[in-house]
Amino acid sequence: MTQQLTLLQKLMNGPSMGYIDVFPDRMMWQEMAKELGAEFKVRRGASQDYEIHQLSLPYKDCIIQSTVSSHRPLKFQIAFKRNLDFDMIISWEDFLERLFKKIRKPEIQLHHKEFDKHYLIKSNRPDLLKRILSREIQEIMLKYNIYSISYQFEKEMNETKLLSVIQRQAGGSKMIYELIYMFQLWIDALEKAKIIK
At residue 115, the pLDDT reads 94
Q: What is the mean pLDDT of the chain?
A: 83
Residue 73 has pLDDT above 80, yes or no: yes
Q: pLDDT band at 98, cuts 50/70/90?
A: low
Query: Which ranges in 47-172 belong to alpha helices (H)?
Result: 95-101, 113-118, 126-132, 135-143
The pLDDT tens digits for 5-24 are 444 444 444 444 455 666 66
Q: Residues 6-33, buried b or exposed e (16+ Cβ, 10 A)? A: eeeeeeebbbeeeebebeebeeebeebb
Distance of alpha carbon 26 from alpha carbon 140, whole angstroms: 24
φ and ψ at 73, to 5 degrees?
Answer: -70, 165
Residue 137: count other Cβ atoms within 10 Å of its Cβ.
20
Q: Is the distance from CB of 146 to CB of 26 less than 8 angstroms?
A: no
φ, ψ dihedrals at 164, nearest 5°: -135, 130
* Residue 86 in this model has a pLDDT that exceeds 90: yes
- CA angle in degrees (0–180, nearest 5) for 147-151-155: 130
- Categorize the per-residue pLDDT at 68 as very low, low, confident or very high, splitting at 50, 70 and 90: confident
pLDDT value at 57 more than 70: yes
pLDDT of residue 7: 45
Evaluate whether 132 touches 190 at the Cβ level (below 8 Å): yes
pLDDT per residue over 128-155, tens digit each?
A: 999 999 999 999 999 999 999 999 998 8
Percent of the chain whose pLDDT exceeds 90: 54
Does this model's pTM top 0.75? My answer is: yes
- Position 16 scores a pLDDT of 43
